[in-house]
Amino acid sequence: MSILEGEGPVRRWLRKREPLLKRLRSTQIAIYPPVDRELEAMREAKKREWKAKGYPEGMVDKALMLADRWVSSMADAFAPPERMDVRQAIIRGSYGKALEVGEAWIVAMMK
């Protein structure tokens, strides 16, 4: 039997986990600080860029919080708590996109 016909290891692991919505309702999302200097520099550069564009400071702070929570929720959803290396890889891989989402949020809220 091929892996396409059966259930693979990832699907088994996902099926055994508690549903995401149940986990999110039962616990607070842990906000992970940026995992390294590169992400911290990216965050600060985006903060300066947004302020230079004239976005209000309160909206900039909320957009950064949105970006932090977005990557944290991605890490919580797709990596088990004991696999911090996987969580950090998810955060590193998605933080740029999270900052894009943050800017889109600012633009939408200013309309």
**Domain encompassing residue 53:** 9-110
Does 4 map to a domain?
no
User: Does the model's pTM come out above 0.85?
Assistant: no
Does 3 map to a domain?
no
Does 29 map to a domain?
yes
Closest CA to 86 of 71, 97, 100, 64: 71
Number of domains in the chain: 1
- The torsion angles phi and psi of 8, rounded to 5 degrees, stand at -80, 175
Instruction: Please provide the average confidence, as pLDDT, over all residues in the chain.
Output: 80
pLDDT band at 5 (very low <50, low <70, confident <90, very high): low
Does 2 map to a domain?
no
